Structure 1
Amino acid sequence: MSWLLNLYETYEANQKQVGIIEKKRNDKEYMLLPVSHTTQNAHIEVNITEDGNFHSADVIGKVNTVIPSTEESGSRAGSKVAPYPLHDKLSYVAGDFVAYGGKIKKEEPFTTYIQQLKNWAHSPFGNSKVKSIYTYLNKKRLIKDLVKEKVLYLDEDEQLIGTWDKKYEALYDQKPEIFSVITGGQDAAFIRFNVHSPAEILTKVWNDPDMYDSFIKFYNDQLGDEDLCFVTGQVLPSTERHANKIRNAGDKAKLISANDTSGFTYRGRFSKSNEVASISYEVSQKAHNALKWLIHRQGKTIDNRVFLVWSNDNPDVPDPTEDPFDILAKHFPVQEEASQKIFTNQDFARGFAKMLDGYKSDLTTKSNINILILDSATTGRMAVLYYRNLDKELYFKRLEKWHSTCIWQHRYRKGIEFTGAPATKDIAFAAYGPRANEKVVKGLMERILPCVVDDKKIPIDIIKSCYQRASNPVSMEKWEWEKTLSITCAVINRHEEGYTVALDTENMNRDYLFGRLLAIADVLERRALKSDDNRSSNAIRYMNSFSKHPARTWKTIQESLQPYQARLGANGHNLSKMIDEVASAIDFDDFNNKPLSGKYLLGFYSQRHALYQKKEEKTEAAEEVTN
């Protein structure tokens, strides 16, 4: 229950955000929903005058709308008649639905709907807008007005057209707009209502805080029996029906459900679901609404699996699945550090620690960090796959260690170079390629998360997958291989610890030295080739074989270098000399065909980086002399 309690406390701590529309970068809207409210895609908007008459109507496409909701309507399915209190499908809100050919099963939905709306409108909590909408709908002429307004359409028998067919082209010049926004017949159209005033601009009904409060107070007055809430420990009105639409408006999966009374849910241990655990209506509503808000605001969803991290009093917490560039970009005071070139673990650790201190200062001393992973195996059931609640000091300490040990220099962002740990999604890229199935990616991200927040070792199969792909550059494009290589170096560095991008000439490790040899051979050949010659060097082409049989393959590579050494002449003397120095540093007994470990990639990257950096410095110096 701890995750429910923390979500409930998050809702309470962010009461100022309730009912306020926020926007993502892609302009999609979301909000922290009020209690007893949910969202629904509306197709038609109907405007009612203040005195309860029809004003106008429009097809609005599929627009996500905040609507009042009861326990029954929020969990209705099949033929069950459970109307939403205000906005709903045409079959519920239209009193003339049957008169225009609408088909119903047991009871007429409108009867239940209009009685519920009447109770709200005539209660002490009803307001003028609810009364205006009730007055109009009670006239039972909605479909008649919508047909007149050319929003809905009838066939030759004056009945509602079901699905659109070419035979109706004789009646209408073109396909009506309503059939482009609904998947079934017109009876499936969802209607939202608004109140129009000629004297003033009124707040839209679905965005009106007074409407929210009106229904919340009305519905609270209708709540049933009280029971002990296992989340808060208080005796409050309880509920057995809990929210769906957690990940998106079409999501039917629930985190809490106990409706299988005839199956094997209780297995003889209990006779009623509330004997297992009872949750109050208020806690359920607030916790689920907070979860929806956090997912829309900052959650990552991959193949319907949600990765979410937040703090109760301040949702803005560094995401353990992101790389430092993304984290720094969200923290404006130190955003400039994102462009710095930091090549040592110690310097980077200090820079990153400074940024984390900025985050920590925004949180209270009692703040804890919540990490949650959700997924559903079926359309109706969702599960918590992973949940951790950590002390903020411990969380930031673990985050700092991850970003100072799983570290390397990366250039795969266009025009940006940064040093740090790769995002977990990019580790999946390195291990399985950019076209990996999302199920594989989300599985890897879930496995990597404990490595960040619990300081676990990266699973060896992930390291091997990255190593094998990085050792086979001919199987991918250059940009893809370069990205795979730097990410693999970061992963291996986390496993080995203590290596830096800066070349360590004192490192006498066999695999590291073999990697340096390969890098020098690659750079030597590249310098001998023309600048517009983009073919791979022999060192790159033989890289996979080199990783498995280094001594034998090096003989082949060195023989292929001779023409390029001759072409460079004196200009290649330093590189040839360097090859001799590195090769002689390898112990005689170690110069064999034993397969190389991932350390050779670290040596390869660092040596190549050092040579390219040295060349850039010489070029810059020459330009300064010329100027």
Structure 2
Amino acid sequence: MDFFTSLLNAYEKAEEIGLVDQRMGDNEPVLLPIYHNNKIIKKTDFFINIFLDNNGCFYKAERIEEGANIIFPITFESSNRTSTKIAPHPITDSWYYVMYSELRQDKQHVYLENLNNWITQTKSSNVKRFLEFIYNFVRAPKSVELVLKSAFGQDCQIFQEFNDEENKFHSAEIVYGENKKTIVLSKVNLTFTIMNYDGFKNISVSNFKELHNDHLKVIKQINTENIGICNISGKEDRIISLHRSIGGPFGKAKLISKSDGNKFAYQGDRFSTNKDDVDIIKIGYETSEKIHLMIKYLLENKNSSTWLGSSQYLINWFSDDLVNNSQLDIVKPVFDDLFEDDEDEEDTQVLIRPSEENREIGSSFIKGKKLFGSDATYYIAVLNKTSNGRIALKYFRSLQVSQLLKNLEAWQENYSWEIWTKAGNYKLKTPIINDIISVAYGVDRERYLEVDNDRFKSDQYQQLVTALIDGKSIPGTVVKKLEDNIRQRQKYSKRWKQVQQVSLGILHKQNGEEFSSMLDHTNQNRSYLFGRLLAIYELTEHLRYKLEGSDSGRITNAERYWTAYTGQPTKIMMLLENKIQPYAETLKLNRPGSWNKLSKEKEEIMELLNPLLETKSMEESLDYRFFFGYYAEKKFYYTKQNMEVAESEE
């Protein structure tokens, strides 16, 4: 199923279940009815709500607070108007359309004419009365003064600039308040609320569903031009050549935009007009509205939208869980609250195998209760704003939920590694995509690993998300970067544990091999053995520092020579061997149990390495396997059993 048809079906499914025009909360996103728009009020917006009583008389006017979601009817013409085209929204609009002004009398004239036409066409007495209250108020000579004094204060004034050459007013602004603040009149928008209109309820343009439904009927009555068959819905509709912008994070950019001609074609990842009769599709007005409003809602719903950096967003939904109440999040698996951010528990950690519950998909990618069925369909798309006017569809997939879960389970199985939790045990953790990108390409800025190129980061997001959804492996370029980065420990003075956690999770299944956190005494791979040896050097020095209480923050020689060691292991091994001798002697005298365990491990490692010392391969750089030998050796030392033996021998 293609992208547009999937969105159309999703909207029509939402109509069936009553999701359209359903408010979950004052500031929650709403799936708008067609031929409507909304405005999330920002701090810089000046949106005024005019309150009329249940007789239509003025009560008050006040500025709408930041975060409020204002819904209002629109028309095809008003949603595509330009600065030179007069096309008012039916009720809620800017000052020049709604209120009388000498500057733009022509705008209010059309506004009132359209409003009167609606009043005469509606068959709903409830809607008619609501509209008449508004119509009569804005026509009243004193309405301007009433709104100004109430909203801006008694001392506010309008200053208009008169152009003598053109013999007309050129601009106007409101001056108000003790500090003489100013606001350009054209930036002020107005909407309406009738108090106690329905019993004791205040009914506004935003929440009056009967008004919204009536507007739909009026639009359908006047949509009689350019009628044809919509290629997406297969229904008769008004075929349009201009489509609404999505809004939200994309502003006025459009998914379907017009260039030359008046026919539509799909061109790669962009939808636009084209002169050539190739892959031409005709899109109806109602279909276009449903498609764009569904995208808008998915973008505004925090459960179904994820920012991927730059101007790129991911949207996803289920055929039977449109709102994604299950909160499936493929970009950021859960468990983050279970872990210490800067855990340093090595001396007290006990060996507990990762919980089996972590192998279930519901414990990682799904934050809430699983509300979608296994026979449902999952949809995912990545949209990218390529310019101020254009949006590109970068990726789209639809697949059965059963296949999605298999792909997510495979990803979790292949790319998870244990981590120590606040509860005092180990659990598997699947690295979030942002961490994978940051560890592969980021710079350690102490608080965070930061990727400076936002567009590059956005592209990496897309690659990883598509690999996960399509059931593919992480791109080889990312794997190679991680392999390179674990050699350069000195580059990560603050975020090394993050680098370690992600790298272990991604690299532990490569080239047909699988490494675990358990020490493999039978592994004779030279890189693995050199990694174990490096851990012995580090532990020896670290334990020596701990004897004098100065271990915190001190860099061991193993850490200092880390990069050189991975490049010339034999040479640096000899250097480290000499450097740790004083530490080993002190440890032998003061913590014989620990020294004895480390010595036995070192003897085993050297016995396995000795046959290879004379071969040319010993001079080669270490590969990523050294990291698993290093990790496993350190964990082996810090298991409960080893700690008890070590302490008993002291």
TM-score between the two structures when normalised by the length of structure 2: 0.81
1-structure distance, mates of 2:372, 2:48: 44
Q: Is the 8 A contact 2:8 2:291 kept in 1?
A: yes
The equivalent residue for 1:458 is 474
2:310 aligned residue (303, 317, 332): 303
Structure 2 CA distance for partners of 1:501 and 1:580, relative to 1, 3 Å: same
Structure 1 residue 414: Cα displacement? 12
SS at match of 1:149: helix
2-structure distance, mates of 1:122, 1:620: 92
1-structure distance, mates of 2:647, 2:209: 66
SS at match of 2:508: helix
The equivalent residue for 2:586 is 567
1:113 aligned residue (107, 111, 114): 111
Query: Which shows bigger deviation, 347-356 or 582-591?
Result: 347-356
Instruction: Name the aligned partner's letter for residue 294 of structure 1.
Output: L
Structure 2 CA distance for partners of 1:363 and 1:341, relative to 1, 3 Å: farther
> Aligned Cα RMSD in Å?
3.6
Structure 2 CA distance for partners of 1:356 and 1:379, relative to 1, 3 Å: closer
Structure 2 CA distance for partners of 1:142 and 1:606, relative to 1, 3 Å: farther
2-structure distance, mates of 1:278, 1:450: 30
Structure 1 residue 94: Cα displacement? 1.0
Structure 1 residue 555: Cα displacement? 1.7
1-structure distance, mates of 2:193, 2:570: 79
Q: Is the 8 A contact 2:360 2:409 kept in 1?
A: no
Structure 1 residue 365: Cα displacement? 5.5
Instruction: Name the aligned partner's letter for residue 35 of structure 2.
Output: S
More helix by share: 1
Residues 222-237 of structure 1 mapped to structure 2, 5 A cutoff: 222-224=222-224, 225-237=226-238
Structure 2 CA distance for partners of 1:375 and 1:494, relative to 1, 3 Å: farther
2-structure distance, mates of 1:6, 1:581: 61
Structure 1 residue 554: Cα displacement? 1.7
Structure 1 residue 309: Cα displacement? 2.4
The equivalent residue for 2:203 is 203
Q: Is the 8 A contact 1:368 1:391 kept in 2?
A: yes
Q: Is the 8 A contact 2:359 2:412 kept in 1?
A: no
1:484 aligned residue (480, 499, 503): 499
Instruction: Name the aligned partner's letter for residue 109 of structure 1.
Output: K
Q: Is the 8 A contact 1:47 1:194 kept in 2?
A: yes
Structure 2 CA distance for partners of 1:206 and 1:585, relative to 1, 3 Å: same
The equivalent residue for 2:568 is 549
Q: Is the 8 A contact 2:49 2:64 kept in 1?
A: yes
The equivalent residue for 2:446 is none
SS at match of 1:387: strand
Structure 2 CA distance for partners of 1:140 and 1:544, relative to 1, 3 Å: farther
2:284 aligned residue (280, 283, 307): 280
Structure 2 CA distance for partners of 1:342 and 1:439, relative to 1, 3 Å: farther
Residues 175-190 of structure 1 mapped to structure 2, 5 A cutoff: 175-176=180-181, 179=182, 185-190=184-189
| CA shift digits 1:177-236 (9 cap, x unpaired) | xx4xx6xx1321111211123872323331222222121222222223432222222233
The equivalent residue for 1:337 is none
Figure out how many residues of one structure are paired with residues of the other and give that number. Answer: 585
1-structure distance, mates of 2:424, 2:71: 42
2-structure distance, mates of 1:443, 1:12: 32
Structure 2 CA distance for partners of 1:77 and 1:575, relative to 1, 3 Å: farther
Instruction: Name the aligned partner's letter for residue 564 of structure 1.
Output: Y
Q: Indicate the structure whose relative CO is greater, using CA pairs within 8 Å and at least 6 residues apart.
A: 1
The equivalent residue for 2:157 is 154
Structure 1 residue 551: Cα displacement? 1.5
Structure 2 CA distance for partners of 1:294 and 1:445, relative to 1, 3 Å: same
SS at match of 2:587: helix
Q: Is the 8 A contact 1:236 1:280 kept in 2?
A: yes
2-structure distance, mates of 1:390, 1:31: 26
Structure 1 residue 615: Cα displacement? 7.2
TM-score between the two structures when normalised by the length of structure 1: 0.84
2-structure distance, mates of 1:539, 1:399: 38
Structure 2 CA distance for partners of 1:348 and 1:190, relative to 1, 3 Å: same
Structure 2 CA distance for partners of 1:59 and 1:436, relative to 1, 3 Å: same
Structure 2 CA distance for partners of 1:455 and 1:136, relative to 1, 3 Å: same
2-structure distance, mates of 1:80, 1:157: 22
The equivalent residue for 1:419 is 428
Q: Is the 8 A contact 1:410 1:487 kept in 2?
A: no
Q: Is the 8 A contact 1:67 1:86 kept in 2?
A: yes
Structure 1 residue 367: Cα displacement? 1.6
The equivalent residue for 1:363 is 372
More strand by share: 2
2-structure distance, mates of 1:156, 1:452: 59
SS at match of 1:195: strand
Instruction: Name the aligned partner's letter for residue 444 of structure 1.
Output: Q
1-structure distance, mates of 2:365, 2:405: 7
The equivalent residue for 2:335 is 325
1:314 aligns with 2:318: no
Structure 1 residue 268: Cα displacement? 4.3
2-structure distance, mates of 1:30, 1:536: 51
Structure 1 residue 411: Cα displacement? 5.5
The equivalent residue for 2:555 is 536
1:501 aligns with 2:506: no
Structure 2 CA distance for partners of 1:614 and 1:415, relative to 1, 3 Å: closer
Q: Percent identity?
A: 23
The equivalent residue for 2:22 is 20
Structure 2 CA distance for partners of 1:88 and 1:604, relative to 1, 3 Å: same
Structure 1 residue 389: Cα displacement? 1.0
Q: Is the 8 A contact 1:457 1:495 kept in 2?
A: no
SS at match of 2:157: coil
Structure 1 runs not aligned, ≥5 long = 330-339, 623-627
Query: Which shows bigger deviation, 523-532 or 194-203?
Result: 194-203
Structure 2 CA distance for partners of 1:119 and 1:349, relative to 1, 3 Å: same
1:389 aligned residue (398, 407, 412): 398
Q: Is the 8 A contact 1:125 1:215 kept in 2?
A: no
